[in-house]
Amino acid sequence: MKYFLNIFFLLVFCEAYTQNNASFSSADGKVFKVLEKGKSFNTVPQAHVLIEKIMKDTLRVELEFENKKKFPVTLYFLEQGVSCRNKEFNYKVEFDDVNLKLTFIGVYDIVPLPALLVPKKPIVDTSQKYKNKLFGHFFEMKDGKPVYFNNKPKQGNCVNPMPKEYLDYTALLISKAEVAEHKYVIVENVCRNNCYTVEQLSALLKYIDFEIEKLKLVRTAYKGLTDPANKKDLEKSFRLESAKNELNDFLKTADQSKITSNTLCTKSASQLLVDNYVQKLGTYSNDAERYEVFKKGYSDLCYSVDQVKQVLAKFIHDREKLDAARLLYFYCVEKDTYSKVVDVFSYNQTASELNDFIEKQR
């Protein structure tokens, strides 16, 4: 019995003393798997992979990308050359389809999240009375009424930019965000519900780490600019030359773009036209190429909900399905039943994100 107790306490001690985390983040949104001895830490390729509770000072893994290229990597969990514990080692992953560049970007203490403080339910239930009907709109209570941080006009183009106080409130929300994904959601909500200058949009883009996410936000936010004549200044928010080229390609046609919530679709296209378009998407071998072709042709048609699902079914990953579903919403003639589109997703989280998006458009 004494022998088993000694083994038990030794295992507990080792776990408490040596465990660390390793975090891999793609610089350009390319997805990958992390494998050790042929076993994958993430079954689905992802742009961000977190490996937890590593019990060794040295870890030998492989990074495998969608084109099946693999790269062996050796990681050393040392701080100033000394073994450490309860640390997260962060690495930036850059892959140009041929070569891998893995850059160490820092080590941080693993700080557990505090337990949630749940107040007692009040005697008078006020939750329904003060429920925020406009999901994603920031508000504060004044004299028992919600005052929304939302200066976008219900009709017409943006003329007046949001006040500085809105940017200050955004900074406060960002400071409380735990991960990059939460920061993106906050900035996206600000852009969808307000008007702003190019300078204000540039300030919002500073909260976003990845260039591909910044490009997505510019496409979403462009129609909210009050001074589109200064759109060229948005180039200063990007570092990579490829991202700047993509931005400029978008800006060349942005003023004539059909990507708008006011798109008038009253009748869906013939099934033959949609079938031909879907067949064209199916000729591409991966979602990245398929999505680029999709963006160039989707706005030429109007769709029923079933036709939208038919288009989305050609994509493999939920990430591209969600991005495409958001764009197709504005060209769907059955917006009242658009939530049925979530049937094509593999994960409940993605379905929830689309439903949140639909709610914001109403």
Percent of the chain with pLDDT over 90: 31
CA atoms within 13 A on the CB side of 112: 4
pLDDT in tens, 299-318: 888 999 999 999 999 999 99
Residue 136: pLDDT band with limits 50, 70, 90: very low
pLDDT in tens, 70-94: 999 999 888 877 888 888 999 999 9
Q: Six-digit token pair at 134? A: 């406009």
Residue 112 clears pLDDT 90, i.e. is over it: no
Distances (CA, A) of 26 to 31, 49, 67, 216: 7, 9, 15, 16
Residue 119 clears pLDDT 90, i.e. is over it: no
pLDDT in tens, 241-269: 888 888 888 887 776 544 444 456 888 88
Residue 200 clears pLDDT 90, i.e. is over it: yes
Burial of 214 (0-12, 13-18, 19+ CB in 10 A): buried
How confident is the model over 124-136, as a mean pLDDT? 45
pLDDT in tens, 146-161: 555 677 877 777 888 8
Q: How high is the pLDDT of residue 177? A: 81
Sequence-ordered list of residues with C-beta below 8 angstroms from that of 255, at least 6 positions apart, any chain: 228
Residue 163 clears pLDDT 90, i.e. is over it: no
pLDDT in tens, 271-296: 988 998 999 999 988 998 898 889 88
> How high is the mean pLDDT of the chain?
82
Residue 140: pLDDT band with limits 50, 70, 90: low
Q: What are phi and psi of 235, to 5 degrees?
A: -60, -25
What residues are paired with 79 via a beta bridge?
82
pLDDT in tens, 173-182: 888 887 888 8
How confident is the model over 233-248, as a mean pLDDT? 89
Top-ranked range on mean pLDDT: pick from 12-21, 193-202, 262-271: 193-202
Q: How high is the pLDDT of residue 255? A: 63
Residue 194: pLDDT band with limits 50, 70, 90: confident
Report which of residues 101 and 362 the model is more confident about. 101
Q: How high is the pLDDT of residue 186? A: 84
CA atoms within 13 A on the CB side of 295: 13
Q: How high is the pLDDT of residue 281? A: 92
How confident is the model over 197-221, as a mean pLDDT? 90
Residue 3 clears pLDDT 70, i.e. is over it: no
Residue 325 near residue 358 (C-beta atoms within 8 A): no
Percent of the chain with pLDDT over 70: 82
* 3-state per-residue secondary structure call for the chain: CHHHHHHHHHHHHHHHHHCEEEEEEECCCCCEEEEECCEECCCCCECEEEEEEECCCEEEEEEEECCCCEEEEEEECEECCEECCCEEEEEEEEECCCCEEEEEEEEEECCCCCCCCCCCCCCCCCCCCCCCCCCCCEEEEECCEEEEECCCCCCCCCCCCCCHHHHHHHHHHHHHCCCHHHHHHHHHHHHHHCCECHHHHHHHHCCCCCHHHHHHHHHHHHHHECCHHHHHHHHHHCCCHHHHHHHHHHHHHHHHCCCCCCCCCCCCCCHHHHHHHHHHHCCCCCHHHHHHHHHHHHHHCCECHHHHHHHHCCCCCHHHHHHHHHHHHCCECCHHHHHHHHHHCCCHHHHHHHHHHHHHHC
Residue of 185, 157, 354 whose CA lies nearest to 262: 157
Residue 13 clears pLDDT 50, i.e. is over it: no
CATH numbers and ranges of domains, the chain: 2-109 (2.60.40), 138-244 (no CATH), 271-361 (no CATH)
How confident is the model over 53-72, as a mean pLDDT? 90
Q: How high is the pLDDT of residue 72? A: 94
Q: How high is the pLDDT of residue 82? A: 83
Q: How high is the pLDDT of residue 357? A: 85
Q: How high is the pLDDT of residue 128? A: 46
pTM of this prediction? 0.38
Residue 121: pLDDT band with limits 50, 70, 90: low
Residue 130 clears pLDDT 50, i.e. is over it: no
Distance (Å, rounded) from C-alpha 191 to C-alpha 351? 22
